[in-house]
Amino acid sequence: MALRTLDSLGSLAGKRVIVRVDFNVPLKEGVITDDGRIRAALPTLNHLLNQGARVIACSHLGRPDGAPDAKYSLEPVAQRLSELLGAPVAFARDTVGQSAQDAAGALADGEIAVIENLRFNPGETAKDDAERRAFAEQLAALGDAFVSDGFGVVHRKQASVYELAELLPSAAGFLIEKEVDVLDRLTENPERPYAVVLGGSKVSDKLGVIEHLLPRADKILVGGGMLFTFLAAQGHPVGKSLLETDLLDTVRGYITTAHERGVELILPVDAVMASGFAADADHVIAPADALEDTPFGADGMGLDIGPASAELFAEAIRTSKTVFWNGPMGVFEMAAFAAGTKTVAAALTEVDGLSVVGGGDSAAAVRQLGFTDDQFGHISTGGGASLEFLEGKKLPGLEILGWQ
């Protein structure tokens, strides 16, 4: 079965439509530092408002642990949404209480309200089915229909993602529809050559993706902190670099499987070794098989792929027709260790085909490094959800919308 889309709900003029968005944006001292997830929700929200729907947007933000916490309030998000829509956005100071009920009840056709952080209520993320259901019933009382458009949470069985979709006529919004279409193309019938670029800190975060995509990809490129476990698996010393010793045998298995299947496993040939984990740490470039042959010796710490590796990766990316990238190549937040990530991102903008940035830290990195969303084929809004989709896992928030 395919996803139920907005068309399946018919006319929503005059209806109160609850939209589960993903407004889990980074905040620094109450200021939004990246509004990409808010902008990603605009096509669905504008479509509903232009139809004359009365929109009630709901989301989580951070991990407030089931109780109100001012630093996780969605109020700054509501203000930013108002600026992006060019229209007033009402804000309810609770999730399902009097303020939310009043805000929902006061909406006229084509107006929108944002209710407070869903995770201020313990029912949103409760492990107990009945507790989640009870909260979902309170949410459902606010509206007539439900649109799920928070792709970043579809891998979670939470009240506003799963049970709410059972209680009201429900469908996927444009963002989820687009995410599923792109990720399905990556798993089912990618145009070749198909390259998968994996970074980030840990191999353990990417185990399922590597296993699921090894039979499907033509090239797998490994950077980020996880590269040191791959190098160590080949017998190279890695100093004090991030290393998951319990996964060395698993990684050796991946290397063998890639060779047997004819998959090109591309590992860095050099790395930036630093005296410590600090923006101003002394650092040098070292060959991948001699990471401890630096002034730092066995105390050195790898914080980025080296320039030769970055160019090797860039060439492999540019000569591919489909590229999926998840995870930065180094500690991109520190300028001295951002070059590898920037080179990889630049190569993705030159792909003659489909280039997909897999959400999370990768999405934050490309924006922080000065790239714009339209330079890539697609920037996913859900890092964890993207990875689980590509692992072939069943995602409850999609299954409840008809996806199989």
> Where in the sequence numbering do the catalytic residues fall?
37, 202, 360, 384
Q: Is 144 annotated as a binding residue?
A: no
Q: Is 333 annotated as a binding residue?
A: yes
CA dihedral over 299, 328, 62, 77, signed as positive or negative: positive
**Single-letter residue type at 43:** P
Q: Is 289 annotated as a binding residue?
A: no
Q: Is 359 annotated as a binding residue?
A: yes
Could you write out the DSSP letters of every residue in 140-184?
A: HTT-SEEEE--GGGTTS--IIIIIHHHHS-EEE-HHHHHHHHHHH
Q: Is 246 annotated as a binding residue?
A: no
Round to whole Å and give the CA distance between 153 and 146: 15
Round to whole Å and give the CA distance between 247 and 250: 5
Helix H segments across 319-404? 339-348, 360-368, 383-390, 396-399
Q: Is 306 annotated as a binding residue?
A: no
Instruction: Residue 291: name the closest of 260, 324, 269, 319 by CA.
Output: 269
Q: Is 24 annotated as a binding residue?
A: yes
Q: Report whether 392 contacts 187 (CB < 8 A).
A: yes
Q: Is 149 annotated as a binding residue?
A: no
Q: Is 102 annotated as a binding residue?
A: no
Burial call 137-166: b when 16+ CB within 10 Å, e when fewer:
ebbbebbbbbbbbbbbbbbbbbbbbbbbbe
Q: Is 302 annotated as a binding residue?
A: yes
> What is the CA angle 357-188-328, rounded to 5?
20
Instruction: Residue 268: name the closest of 281, 284, 285, 251 by CA.
Output: 285
Helix H or strand E encompassing 49: helix 36-51
Q: Is 82 annotated as a binding residue?
A: no
Walk across the sheet containing 219-222 and list its strands.
Answer: 264-266, 219-222, 194-198, 322-326, 354-357, 378-379
The upper half-sphere exposure of residue 374, i.e. CA atoms within 13 Å in the direction of its Cβ, equals 1
Helix (H, G, I), strand (E, B), or coil: what is residue 387?
helix
Round to whole Å and give the CA distance between 92 and 115: 5
Q: Report whether 179 contacts 380 (CB < 8 A).
A: yes
Q: Burial of 355 by CB count in 10 Å (0-12 exposed, 13-18 middle, 19+ buried)?
A: buried
Q: Is 23 annotated as a binding residue?
A: yes
DSSP 8-state symbol, 359:
S
Q: Is 119 annotated as a binding residue?
A: yes
Q: Is 360 annotated as a binding residue?
A: yes
Q: Is 124 annotated as a binding residue?
A: no
Q: Is 150 annotated as a binding residue?
A: no
Q: Is 61 annotated as a binding residue?
A: yes
Binding region for substrate = 22-24, 37, 60-63, 119, 156
Binding region = 22-24, 37, 60-63, 119, 156, 206, 302, 333, 359-362
Binding region for ATP = 206, 302, 333, 359-362
